[in-house]
Chains A and B, each alone.
Chain A
Amino acid sequence: MTYLLRRLATFPLVLLGVSILVFVAIRMVPGDSITAMLGTEAGLLTPAQRDSLAAYFGIDQPWFVQYWRWIGGILHGNFGISVTYGRPVLDVILERFPLTLELAVLSMIIALLVGMPAGIYAATHNEKLSDLGVRVAAMIGQSTPSFVLGLLIIYTLSAGFGVLPAMGEFAPLWQDPLRNLSQLILPAITLGFAFAASVTRIARSAMLDVLSDDYVRTARSKGASARSVIWRHALPNALIPVVTLSGIEFGYLLGGAVIVEQIYALPGLGRMVLDAILQRDYALVQGTVLFIAFNFMIVNLLVDLAYVALDPRIRLGEQ
């Protein structure tokens, strides 16, 4: 409990750091949001018009006043207004987030469904030809960038079967589940592929470690069946590294899969933040980055708590 409190206490500090970093970084990008919004037309503005626009966006103030206003707003749940969307930042983020979350969950399901059985199978067939096969496949999977795989999938579908992945208007899960899944399944496979390979590798090595432990040998010598040894004795302990890896990977995916969203033309968080950076939409970039960092920290905390659930011997905070 004290560990949890201590970890939670570091959250504001890290988020403060993230907020300063992103605030400063986005202001170092040449140009400002007025030029980014109006393009060359910004040159046609009279000084008075420009000043009033700057005042409207709050960028006429010194940076520390801007920062202070921004942070003060966030503490009241106000993340500011996005220049490009003309709507509150939080609304824009929350509109994009379900897709990113769903994509991350689907990829993780694919990774675990493929990776766990493959890893356990390889570990229990150690040094056999089938183990080698799984290891080679996992190595190749881990070395395949998502954008290469994504393009290969699209190419195979279009050249081989004359179909294109379902793109166009994105259908949210609760409105049209079937259409939604048909739009997300290929991106999820694209992201889940390398993820599954990592899960396979870590599950295999964790399982191998555990299978050579004394207590597993004891269980075997007591006459426990091979199945019971694997499922009841070995697997729970082998799960810890798998949980860590999946948690970290999941945390990254919640930040949006910029490239995969780009390839499949999905309106997720990743593409939005890329566009926002390019458009110099200060408020949107700042809000999204803070949102992503917060999610990432929460996921990491949950991963740590999952350790304790899986292995009561671990006492957090005593490393």
Chain B
Amino acid sequence: MRILRAIFGHGSGRIGGVIVGIYLVLAILGLLGLTPHNPITQYRIDRLHAPSAAYWMGTDLFGRDVASRLMAGIGQSFTVAFFSVAFAALAGTVLGLAAAWLGRRWDGVLMRIMDVLLAFPAILLALLIVTVAGPGTWTSVVAIGIVYTPIFTRVVRGPALSLKTREFVDAARTFGSSSSYIVTRHLLLNLVAPLTVQVTLALAWALLTEAGLSFLGLGTQPPAASLGLMLSDSRNLMETAPWLMIFPGLAIMISILGFNLLGDALRDILDPKMRRALA
């Protein structure tokens, strides 16, 4: 509750929060199929219909309602973004904590593996994984998740290493606390703030990557709707039906903007240095 109040007391947090909130509602409606029209029904008689009262954002080449497809696409994009970031945050946290806590050889081996993953440009690694496993929703989740894992590992390992040498960890050890207790209680709890910020920013990035993969035809497969796919399909009809490009384009942009604003606000709110400065 306090964090919500803090977000809404923060200029960009308020805007970001509202945007993300609206998108969440649209995503849920899209996933539940509560859209103005059926997103894959083809109203052939109304092909390439400009935006109107019946079709708020017009129809596409097959006479499908763009607004409904947009909602379904947002649902699709958010599903991929949430699961992939959850995957990366979980894997990255476990690996980062393990590297920091076990130290020495484990740290060396784990971080070198992360270096290997980081030596790939992100989209290239995602492309490679998608081609290996075949395009689809869950492949995108795994691909984006793996790409983002090294970043979470680094975000966790650095602070965990410095926390490990702090007095309270020594004290806990003297009291006879088990390793798993110290790692989860003392290390992990102190990492919640940087992780929250990273998760929010990662969501923005995951939405971008999902749209990019779908744009290249390697993400969500037709006839299912996805923002990147809609944008890609709009290319040849740009001049006759600009609404096919403008609405999905804006939808992607604003969703990323929302998470970026929210992430910035959370960083301001949760960064201990800033908090002290504000107090």
Show the binding face of A for B, using Cβ within 8 Å: 10, 13-15, 17-18, 21-22, 25-26, 28-30, 139-140, 142-145, 147-148, 151-152, 154-155, 158-159, 251-252, 255-256, 258-259, 262-263, 270, 273-274, 277-278, 285, 289, 292-293, 296-297
Task: State in angstroms the CA–CA spacing of A25 and B133 once bound together.
Answer: 10
Kindly provide the distance from the CB of A50 to the nearest chain B CB, expressed in whole angstroms: 23
How far apart are B147's CB and chain A's nearest CB, in angstroms? 12
CA distance A259 to B121 in the complex (A): 13
Asked if residues A252 and B121 are in contact (CB atoms below 8 Å), the reply is: yes
Interchain CA distance A278-B252 in the complex, whole Å:
26
A263 and B129 CA atoms in complex are apart in Å by 22
B256–A147 CB distance below 8 A: no
* B204 located at the interface, meaning its Cβ lies under 8 Å from any Cβ of chain A in the complex: yes
**A18→B128 contact, CB < 8 A:** no
Determine if B128 and A25 form an interchain contact, defined as CB atoms under 8 angstroms apart.
yes
Secondary structure dominating the interface of B: helix
Give every chain B residue within 8 A of A155 (Cβ-Cβ). 238-239, 242, 245
B106-134 interface (Cβ within 8 A of A): 112-113, 115-116, 119-124, 127-129, 131-132, 134
The residue on A at minimum CB distance from B117 is A21
Task: For the complex formed, measure the closest distance between the CB of B50 and the CB atoms of chain A, giving whole angstroms.
Answer: 14
The contact sample of 19 A-B pairs, CB cut-off 8 A, is A14-B119, A17-B113, A21-B116, A25-B132, A26-B132, A28-B132, A30-B134, A143-B254, A143-B257, A145-B212, A147-B215, A151-B235, A252-B121, A256-B121, A259-B216, A262-B216, A274-B127, A277-B131, A289-B124
Give Cα A111 to B238, complex, Å: 28
Whether A252 lies near B122 (C-beta < 8 A) is: yes
Interface contact A18-B119, CB-CB below 8 Å? yes
Shortest CB-to-CB span from B237 to chain A, Å, is: 11
Q: Contact: B116 with A255, CB < 8 Å?
A: no
| Mask of B41-81 contacts with A, CB within 8 angstroms, 1/0 | 00000000000000000000000000000000000000000
Write the residues of chain B forming the contact surface with A, with a CB cutoff of 8 angstroms.
12, 112-113, 115-116, 119-124, 127-129, 131-132, 134, 204, 208, 211-212, 215-216, 228, 231, 234-235, 238-239, 242, 245, 249, 252-254, 256-257, 260-261, 264
**Measured between alpha carbons, how far is A255 from B125 in the docked complex, in Å?**
11
Q: Which of A10, A26, A139 has the most CB of B within 10 A?
A: A139
Residues of B within 8 A of A297 (CB): 119
Closest-by-CB residue of B relative to A17 is B116
**Which residues on A sit within 8 Å (CB–CB) of B128?**
22, 25-26, 277, 285, 289
Residues of B within 8 A of A152 (CB): 245, 249
B131-A29 in contact (CB<8A): yes
Inter-subunit contact A296/B131 (CB<8 Å):
no
Q: In the complex the two chains form, is A259's CB within 8 Å of B127's CB?
A: no
Q: How long is the Cα–Cα vector from A293 to B125 in the complex, in angstroms? A: 11
Q: A139-B260, A142-B260, A258-B124 are in contact. Are A148 and B252 (CB under 8 A)?
A: yes
Residues from chain B with a CB closer than 8 A to the CB of A277 are 127-128, 131
B131 cross-chain contacts in A, Cβ below 8 A: 29, 277-278
Which residues of chain B come closer than 8 Å to A17, judged between CB atoms? Answer: 112-113, 115-116, 119
Which of A151, A289, A293 has the largest number of chain B CB atoms within 10 A? A151
Residues of A within 8 A of B113 (CB): 17
- Among A18, A145, A155, A262, chain B packs the most CB atoms within 10 A around the CB of A145
A93 to chain B, nearest CB (A): 14
Asked if B123 and A143 make an inter-chain contact with CB atoms under 8 angstroms apart, the answer reads no
Kindly report which residue of chain A lies nearest to residue B249, judged by CB atoms. A148
For the complex, what is the distance from the CA of A123 to the CA of B124, rounded to whole Å? 36
B239 touches A139 (CB 8 A): no
Determine how close the nearest CB of chain A comes to the CB of B244; give it in whole angstroms. Answer: 10
Residues of A within 8 A of B121 (CB): 251-252, 255-256, 292, 296
Chain A residues whose C-beta falls within 8 Å of the C-beta of B212 in the assembled complex? 145, 147, 258-259
With A145-B208, A145-B256, A154-B238 as known contacts, state yes or no: A18 contacts B215, CB within 8 Å.
no
Cβ B260 vs Cβ A143 within 8 A: yes
A159 touches B120 (CB 8 A): no
